[in-house]
Amino acid sequence: MKKSINILISLIMVAGLVSCNDGGNQKGKKGAQGGLATNAAERVYVAPGELDEFYAFMSGGFSGQLGVYGLPSGRLLKVLPVFSQNPENGWGYSEETKPMLNTSYGFVPWDDSHHPDISQTNGELDGRWVFINGNNTPRIARIGLESFKTEEIIEIPNSAGNHSSSFITENTEYVVAGTRFSVPVPQKDMSIKDYKGNFKGALTFISVDQETGRMGIKFQLIMPGFNYDLSHPGRDKSHGWFFFTTYNTEEAHSLLEVNASQNDKDFIAAVNWKKIEEYVNNGGGKKVPAKYAHNILDEHTHTATSTMLTEVLTVNPMDVPGAVYFLPTPKSPHGCDVDPTGEYIVGNGKLSADLTVHSFTKMLDAIENKKFDGEAYGIPILKFEDILAGVVKQPGLGPLHTEFDDKGNAYTTFFISSEVVKWKVGTWEVLDRQPVFYSVGHGMIPGGNSRKPFGKYFVALNKITKDRYLPTGPELTQSAQLFDISGDKMELLLDFPTIGEPHYAAGIPAELVAPKSRKIYKLAENKHKYAVLQDSEVRVERVGKEVHVYMNMIRSHFNPDNIEGVKVGDKVFFHITNHEQDFDVPHGFAVIGANNAELLIMPGATETLVWEPKQVGVWPIYCTDFCSALHQEMQGYVRVSPADSNIELSWSLGED
Amino acid sequence: MKKAGIIMIIGSLLLLGLFKFPLWNIMLGAPQYPDPLGMDIYIQGIQGVEEFDIQNIDGLNHYIGMKTIPKVEDMWEFNVFPKVIGLMVALGVIIGILGFFGKVSYKWFFGWFVLMSVLGIMGMYDFNLWLLDYGTDLDPKAIMKLENLDGTPMTYKPPLIGYQKMLNFDVDSWPGTGAYMIFVGMMLTVVAFFVGKKEYKK
C-alpha cells in the first residue's frame, strides 16, 4: 500500500511540474480557444441544410452503444444501439431483436463498448461495416453501414475483459479480439492465488465473410497469463502480423496498480497470424469445448436468431514455431499503434516518460538472426536494442495512444499531462503540443488506423470535463475535441459532449458511406414470419393463452385498430408491419402498461411487441412517431375481458 | 423523291420513342419532399419516377380525397394509344417508302402530318379531361376539405403544362422525352413535304 501511495505522489508531482511548464496559460487561453480570434467558428460551421464532411463512429463506452457524429460540426447524428437495450426504438425489447443480446450467460442487456474499427480493403477504408467490442461480456458486433444497424454479434469464449479488440486486418480478413484479463482456460474452480502460470490469455481471430460479413472464430491463440491491453494489425509491409501490448507480465492477481508495475519492461506480442492460419488450415490446433452465442439479424426476416456454439479451435503458440515473439517495451504499454507504412510499431508505455518505437524490419532481422534475450513460457523475447527504431524523448506524461496523418506525423495522447503531442515519424522530433480538457484517452484521425489516413482533423476523446460545460450535478458528460491538423500546428476548433465515455472512434469520409445509406426496406422483400403484406391477411389468432395480432400500419391508422376478445392472463403479440414505402416515415407503437418498451418500425419492416394485460378494461394503443398531419388520430383500442370471459376474438378497422 | 421519302420514314419512326420514353412528366416537390415525387406518363401507362412514387403520391392524395392514379386497366387510353401510334408509324413508313419509289405524291406526307396533328390535339384534350376529373372529382368523405378564399371547394387539377403551387406542393408538368421525339418526328414529316415538293419541281 505504501508503495502505491509513493507512486501516486510522484505522479502527481510530475503532473504538477508539467502543468507548470505549459499548463499555466491553459486557463488564460480559454477565451482565445473559442473561434473569434481565429476563424475556427467558420471552419466547424456546417450551415443548415449542409452536410458534414466525415462520419465519426465514436464508442459509447459504458452506454454499450455506438455514437454517430458528423465532422467538423460535432453534431450527434444518431446513437446506434449495439450491446445495450434501447427503449427508444425497441432494440433488445422487441421479440425480433432480443436474441441479439443473448449470450452463454443468458440475456445480457448491457455492455461496455470500446473500439470501433471500419472495414478495409487493401488497407484503405471501404465503408462496408463497423466492428465494435463489448468489453464486459466479451462480444464483437458488426454494424452494417447500409442500414446502420447491428447485424451480428458473436461472443468470445475463454476471454474476459475483451479489450484489445476489435481491430481488423487490412483486407478485413479477421477481426481480432484479445482478452485483457487472463482467466483459467477452460474455466474451473481454482484458487486465485494460483494465477501465475495457470491463467491464460486468449487472442481470438474471427474470420469475416467478404460477401455477407458473417463472422466465425477461426482460432484462439492461448497465450501466457498476461493482460493483453490493446492491439493493432500490421499493414502494408507488416500485413500478416498483429501486435498486442501487454501489461502485468508479473502475473500479479491482486493490487495490480503496484504489483503489475514492477517490471521495467513489459511486452508487445508480435503474432504472425498468416503462419498460424496456415497451420490451422492444414489441420493444426485443438478443438476444445466452449459455449458461446452467435447472433445474426436477418435483413429480410427482420428477425434475429441466436445459435449457441459448443466448440472452438485453440492453438498453443509453442506448436507453431516462429509464430509469436515478444518485443520488450517499457512500462506497461497501453496503446499499440502501427504507422501507415507498417514499419513502425509504437508502444505507448503509460508509466514511462518516453515513447518507444519498434522497427518491423529490425524485428524481422532479429528473428532471422535469433537475437533473443531469453524467453517467456517458451516464447522468444527479442533484444530491445536490436528492434528499437527510436525513442520520442520526454514528449509528455502518460502516453496512451498514437494516431497518424498522411504526412508522416504521429499524434500521441497523454492522459496525465492532458495534451496531444505531434511528432515526426522517423526523426522522433516533437513538433507541436496542445492541451486538451481534460485527460485525453484515444485520439482519432479519419482513416488514421489504415494505410491511407485523411489528415485533416484530429479528435481527442476525453475522459474528464469538469468545468467545460454547464454543470449537471456530480455526473458529467465526457467530451470530444476537434483539432485542425492540416497546418504545421494543431488548432483547437471545437469541443462537444459525447454519449457515454468515448474510447476509440473511427472516422470515414462521408462520400464513402452516405450514397449507399438505405432509405426504406422493400415490403416485397419482407420475409418476416408474421408480416402482413396485404390488408386481407390482417387477423388476430389465439393459440392457447397466446394471442397473435397480425397488424399493419400506414398513414394514419393501424389495421385493425379495434380488438376484442383478449383476456387477463393472455400474452399478446403485436406483430406490426409498416406498409409505408416512403423515406423517413417510421411509425411507432406503444400500448398502455407494457412492461418493455415501444417499437419504432421502419418502412417495410415488421416488429413484434409482447404485452401481458393485467387489468380488465379497454386499453389504448397509439403511434409514437409524429408521422403525419393525422398522427394524433393514429390510435386504437384493445378490450381486455376477465380471464373466464367467453368473448370471441374480433377485430376491425373503420366499422361503425 | 428519294431524299424526302427517307426523311418521312425517319420522321415517322421517331414516334417509336413513345414506347420507350415518357410522353409527359409531373413532379411534386414540397418542404418534406426535397427529392420530389414524380410520375412519368407513358402511352402505355403511368409509372413513378422512383420505385414507390406512385404509391406515395396516392398516399398523400388520399388526404384531399383524390382518386388513386389509374393503373393500365383503369383507362382505355393506355390500350388504344399504343395501337394508334403503332398504326401511324406503319402508315408513315409505308407512305415514306412509296414516296421513295415515287409511287405517291409528296402531298401524302403533309396528309400524314395533318392526321397526326389532329390525333395529337385529341390526345392532349383527353389528357386534360383526365387531369380535370382527377383534380376535381373528390371523395366527399375526404379527410381535408379545403376551400378557396371565395368559399368554393378547392380543386387540385395539375397544370397541363407549366408550374403551379398547390397547397404545400410545387407542381411541375412538362413534356417528356417522348413528346420531344414526336415533335421532332412530326417536324421532319413537314420537312419531307417541302423537300418532296422541291424534288418534284425538278
Q: Compare all CA atoms of chain B with the CA of A521 and give the residue at the minimum distance.
A: B52
Q: Which pLDDT score, from 0 to 100, does residue A30 have?
A: 55
Mean pLDDT (whole number) for B79-90: 95
- Please say if the pLDDT value at position B68 is more than 80: yes
Most confident of A256-260, B78-82, B143-147: B78-82
In the block, residue with C-alpha cell 464483437: A140
In the block, residue with C-alpha cell 441466436: A306
Mean pLDDT (whole number) for B14-34: 95
Q: Which ipTM value was assigned to this complex?
A: 0.85
Q: How many CB atoms lie within 10 A of CB A159?
A: 30
Tell me which of A519, A579, A582 to substitute to probe the interface with B (most B C-beta atoms closer than 10 Å).
A582
A520 lies within 8 A of chain B by CB: yes
Contacts of A582 in chain B (CB under 8 A): 52, 55-56, 59
To 10 degrees, the CA torsion angle through B31, B37, B41, B42? Answer: 150
Mean pLDDT (whole number) for B111-132: 94
Residue A530 CA to residue A540 CA, distance in Å, equals 11
- Please say if the pLDDT value at position A15 is more than 60: no
Burial class (CB in 10 A: 0-12, 13-18, 19+), A14: middle
Q: CB under 8 Å to A65, separation ≥6 — which residues?
A: A79, A80, A81, A82, A83, A84, A86, A113, A499, A500
Burial class (CB in 10 A: 0-12, 13-18, 19+), B129: exposed
Give the H or E element holding residue A477.
none
pLDDT band at B24 (very low <50, low <70, confident <90, very high): very high
Q: How far is A558 from chain B (nearest CA, A)?
A: 15
Look at A15-29, A129-143, A183-197 and tell me which has the smallest mean pLDDT.
A15-29
Inter-chain CB proximity B63 and A554 less than 8 Å: no
Q: Which pLDDT score, from 0 to 100, does residue B144 have?
A: 87
A630 lies within 8 A of chain B by CB: yes
The partner residue sitting opposite A581, judged by closest CB among B35, B52, B143, is B52
Under an 8 Å CB criterion, which residues of B touch A?
35, 51-52, 55-56, 59, 63, 143-144
pLDDT band at A7 (very low <50, low <70, confident <90, very high): low
- Please say if the pLDDT value at position A26 is more than 50: no
Helix %, strand %, coil % for chain B, to 5? 55, 15, 25
pLDDT band at A652 (very low <50, low <70, confident <90, very high): very high
Contacts of A630 in chain B (CB under 8 A): 63, 143
Residue A477 CA to residue A34 CA, distance in Å, equals 20
Inter-chain CB proximity A582 and B52 less than 8 Å: yes
Q: Compare all CA atoms of chain B with the CA of A519 and give the residue at the minimum distance.
A: B52
> Phi/psi of residue A182, each to 5°?
-80, 150
A153 closest CA partner among A175, A169, A173, A170: A175
Mean pLDDT (whole number) for A404-430: 97
A275 lies within 8 A of chain B by CB: no
H helix and E strand count, chain B: 5, 5
- Please say if the pLDDT value at position A636 is more than 70: yes
The grid coordinates of residue A82 equal: 449495439
Mean pLDDT for all residues in chain A: 94
Q: How many CB atoms lie within 10 A of CB B163?
A: 11
To 10 degrees, the CA torsion angle through A324, A330, A332, A336? Answer: -60
Mean pLDDT (whole number) for A383-402: 95
Q: How many CB atoms lie within 10 A of CB A43?
A: 16
Residue B50 CA to residue B56 CA, distance in Å, equals 10
A225 closest CA partner among A255, A257, A254, A247: A247
The grid coordinates of residue A262 equal: 514492477
Mean pLDDT (whole number) for B139-148: 89
Q: How far is B52 from chain A (nearest CA, A)?
A: 6
Q: How far is B7 from chain A (nearest CA, A)?
A: 45
Q: Compare all CA atoms of chain A with the CA of B33 and give the residue at the minimum distance.
A: A583
In the block, residue with C-alpha cell 466525415: A54
The partner residue sitting opposite B59, judged by closest CB among A555, A583, A629, is A555
pLDDT band at A352 (very low <50, low <70, confident <90, very high): confident
Strand partners, B28: B37, B171
Q: Which pLDDT score, from 0 to 100, does residue A210 have?
A: 97
Look at A179-193, A548-562, B157-171 and tell me which has the smallest mean pLDDT.
B157-171
Contacts of B143 in chain A (CB under 8 A): 630
Mean pLDDT for all residues in chain B: 93
Inter-chain CB proximity A554 and B59 less than 8 Å: yes
Size of interface A-B (CB pairs under 8 A): 17
The partner residue sitting opposite A581, judged by closest CB among B35, B56, B143, is B56
Residue A245 CA to residue A317 CA, distance in Å, equals 17
Give the H or E element holding residue A459.
strand A457-462
Residue B4 CA to residue B13 CA, distance in Å, equals 14
Residue A318 CA to residue A301 CA, distance in Å, equals 45
A165 closest CA partner among A145, A183, A139, A127: A139
Quote the Cα angle for A109-A115-A119, to 5°: 110
pLDDT band at A16 (very low <50, low <70, confident <90, very high): very low
Q: Write the Ramachandran bin of A378: left for phi over 0, alpha for psi from -120 to 50, otherwise beta.
A: left
Mean pLDDT (whole number) for A32-47: 77
Using the Cα atoms of residue A427, residue A431, residue A437 and residue A443 in order, give the sign of their dihedral: negative
* Percent of chain A residues topping a pLDDT of 90: 91
pLDDT band at B2 (very low <50, low <70, confident <90, very high): confident
Q: Which pLDDT score, from 0 to 100, does residue A24 have?
A: 40
pLDDT band at A318 (very low <50, low <70, confident <90, very high): very high
The grid coordinates of residue A370 equal: 535469433
A80 neighbors A148 (Cβ within 8 angstroms): yes
Inter-chain CB proximity A520 and B143 less than 8 Å: no
Q: Which pLDDT score, from 0 to 100, does residue A18 have?
A: 43
Q: Which pLDDT score, from 0 to 100, does residue A6 have?
A: 53
- Please say if the pLDDT value at position A457 is more than 50: yes
Q: Which pLDDT score, from 0 to 100, does residue A38 have?
A: 76
Q: CB under 8 Å to B101, separation ≥6 — which residues?
A: B5
Q: How far is CA A619 from CA A562, A623, A636, B64, B105, in A?
A: 10, 14, 8, 31, 82
pLDDT in tens, A69-96: 999 999 999 999 999 999 999 999 999 9
pLDDT in tens, A147-175: 999 999 999 999 999 999 999 999 999 99
Inter-chain CB proximity A582 and B56 less than 8 Å: yes
The grid coordinates of residue A390 equal: 527510436
Q: Which pLDDT score, from 0 to 100, does residue A298 have?
A: 97
pLDDT in tens, B160-177: 999 999 888 999 999 999
Q: What one-letter code names the amino acid at A326?
A: F
* Percent of chain B residues topping a pLDDT of 70: 100
Q: Which pLDDT score, from 0 to 100, does residue A262 have?
A: 87
A363 closest CA partner among A472, A520, A237: A237
- Please say if the pLDDT value at position A279 is more than 80: yes
- Please say if the pLDDT value at position A236 is more than 90: yes
Q: Which pLDDT score, from 0 to 100, does residue A351 have?
A: 85
Q: Which pLDDT score, from 0 to 100, does residue A52 have?
A: 98
Q: Which pLDDT score, from 0 to 100, does residue A418 have?
A: 95
Residues 547-576 of A with CB under 8 A from B: 554-555
Contacts of B55 in chain A (CB under 8 A): 581-582
- Please say if the pLDDT value at position A25 is more than 50: no
The partner residue sitting opposite A581, judged by closest CB among B55, B143, B144, is B55
Q: Are strands A635-641 and A562-567 parallel, antiparallel or unpaired?
A: parallel
Mean pLDDT (whole number) for B189-202: 88
